[in-house]
């Protein structure tokens, strides 16, 4: 979980019914912070990864794993210009297989912005 206003990030572990409340949500969805014990804040889901380490991609609908030809972005960082590679990535829906979720804090009255994204599971 990252806080763009302070630039700090922290990792939280969520289990049980709190974790079950996250299943079925998508990348870009806004959730209430009270799910994980933060009252008065909203959280925006920015990504995550599954137990095998495959990253979630916002542009891939569904929850299944797919092997996509990537040239950039979540799941692949090219070392040379024009390099493309087929990589295993997961869709944008949170399922039971997702073990790590990246979220950004959005307080009331703020724009949803970027920032450093950290682990929250």
Domain assignments of the chain as residue spans, ordered by start: 2-106
* H or E stretch at 19: helix 17-20
Residue 69 reports pLDDT greater than 90: yes
pLDDT at position 28? 94
pTM: 0.81
112 CB burial (10 A radius; 0-12, 13-18, 19+): middle
Choice between 111 and 94, residue whose per-residue pLDDT is larger = 94
Residue with the two structure tokens 């990030």: 9
Share of the chain above pLDDT 90, in %: 64
Sign of the CA dihedral running 16, 21, 67, 58: negative
Residue with the two structure tokens 């990535």: 89
């Amino acid at each position: 979980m990252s806080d763009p206003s302070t630039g700090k990030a922290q990792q939280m572990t969520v289990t049980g019914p709190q974790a079950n409340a996250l299943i079925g949500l998508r990348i870009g969805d806004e959730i209430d912070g009270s799910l994980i014990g933060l009252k008065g804040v909203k959280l925006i889901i920015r990504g995550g990864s599954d137990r095998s380490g495959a990253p979630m991609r916002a542009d891939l609908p569904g929850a299944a794993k797919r092997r996509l030809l990537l040239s950039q972005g979540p799941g692949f960082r090219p070392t040379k210009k024009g390099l493309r590679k087929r990589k295993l990535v997961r869709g944008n829906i949170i399922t039971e297989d997702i073990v790590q979720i990246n979220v950004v804090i959005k307080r009331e009255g703020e724009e949803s912005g970027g920032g450093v994204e950290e682990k929250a599971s």
